[in-house]
Amino acid sequence: MNRYPRNLRGYGPNPPDPQWPGGAKVAVQFVLNYEEGGENCVLHGDAASEAFLSDIPGAAQWPGQRHWNMESMYEYGARAGFWRLHRLFTRAGIPLTIYGVASALARNPEQVEAMKEAGWEIASHGLKWIEHKDMLPEEEKAAIEEAVRLHTEVVGERPRGWYTGRCSENTVRLVAEEGGFDYISDTYDDDLPYWLEIGDRAQLIIPYTLEANDMRFSVSPGWSDGDDFFNYLKNAFDVLYAEGQFDTPKMMSIGLHCRLIGRPGKIAALQKFIEYIQAREGVWCPRRIEIAEHWAANHPPQKSLRPSRMDKPEFVEQFGSIFEHSPWIAERAFDLELGPAHDCAAGVLNALCRKFRTASEEERLGVLTAHPDLAGKLAQAGRLTAESTSEQASAGLDLLTDEERETFTRLNDAYVEKHGFPFIIAVRDNNKASIMEAFKRRIDNDRATEFNEACRQVERIAYHRLKDLLP
């Protein structure tokens, strides 16, 4: 099977209404990453010092050495930045989700106690703040299990949420297979939570952010001034708030780090943003676990057809009749590179139409001649396919007067004699009168023009049929 694993479709053009509590127009969720004491450091058994997310321009790892300046910047986050943020959010009455690196939490007991007393959620940020990309699956699985064990020991309860950040291609699958997480956040692909099928498990994904994130104070392109951060957050919030009023409410994630936004010259922007959103009505500021609980209660996972996961016999059985009496189209379409983007009416239609359009003219003519005459003898004898019977009935073609039936019969005969195939029109787009008008207008076309028009109508009929089966 030629299958493409990435999901480029998501919710498509019609995302669900999240129905946030209190009719909120937007859910603004603040995350504080707690990594201080869990970063790369030879004291932690690592091969080199840390080089990521600090105020040291162009920082590089120092193999086999302690990087005193880097360590002290991480220490600032624990010693000063955390407490400045703790005061800001507790005074504002906004609860945080902590992405806590387990080894960092173990080295910062006073901060952990303050998180718990504030009622903040402490989710897992892995065992250590290091790269997972080069870990073997069994090595990463062991690290995930140890992160859960140490987190539970240090915090007093196991984490219900997970975010690695520096993840591998296996991370989300391995965390889902662990089986104890209400949500995973190692994606950046949507403005709403969604369910991901991993094996037999429906795993809730709550996407995170790397753009509404103070990490851009330490990367290029990034921000050097707090007002840049404020303006970006404000613009993002304003768009999402307006969408919540006039379209569909969304979620806004904001990522923070103690050693970055905890500096005086940066935290002023965050304080300004908090004041800005608290002056608006209809803003919900939950912890991520509350988003997970809300989504599970109001938008539980739904089972639906997954064409990209079907084997060939199932695919052909399900879609072989979409093009009238032409299962060979579905047989060929199955061999295309199908993926989650094809698990919808437009997706399967595209796959089927690709094989219809690239078929020989003789094969396409066979599809056209497989269609019955409108209100013809097969309809009168009750020998149409179920799809054709329903379609013709939808336009009232099963309730013709004798005069109307005679007119259709005369036009059908003349059309077939001239063009060599039946008159085809997507009756669900029409009514009896518009069908008759199109019949009289199109019968005078040349054969090439009418052949192309009939093929377009066949594709339109296929789309209507697929919408009966798929979103």
| Cα→Cα distances 337→6, 254, 332, 463, Å | 11, 36, 11, 20
**Nearest one of 185, 193, 191, 232 to 212, comparing CA atoms:** 232
Contacts 24+ apart (CB under 8 A), 387-390: 387/321, 387/324, 387/465, 388/324
**Both structure tokens of 249:** 């409410």
- Fill in the DSSP letter of residue 468: T
- Catalytic annotation present for 371: yes
The answer to whether 252 touches 24, Cβ cutoff 8 Å, is: no
Q: How many helices (H) and strands (E) does the chain have?
A: 18, 9
Residue 3 dihedral angles phi and psi, to the nearest 5°: -125, 140
Distance CA 147, CA 142 (A): 9
Please name which of 192, 44, 175, 173 lies closest in space to residue 106, comparing C-alpha atoms. Answer: 44
Given 125, 294, 371, 464, which residue is catalytic? 371
Going by the DSSP 8-state scheme, the letter that residue 9 receives in this structure is: -
Q: What is the dihedral of CA 316, 317, 323, 326, to 10 degrees?
A: 70
What is the DSSP track for 106-172?
HT-HHHHHHHHHTT-EEEE--SSBS--TTS-HHHHHHHHHHHHHHHHHHHSS--SEE--SS--TTHH
Q: How far apart are CA 34 and CA 255, in angstroms?
A: 11
Coil/strand/helix, residue 29:
strand
**d(C-alpha 428, C-alpha 435), whole Å:** 10
Q: What are phi and psi of 121, to 5 degrees?
A: -80, 135
Structure tokens that stand for 193 in this block: 């939570």
CA angle 123, 219, 250 (to 5 degrees): 50
Q: Report whether 167 contacts 132 (CB < 8 A).
A: yes
- Asked if residue 199 lies in contact with residue 208, where contact means CB atoms within 8 angstroms, the answer is no
Q: What are phi and psi of 203, to 5 degrees?
A: -100, 130
Annotated catalytic residues are 371
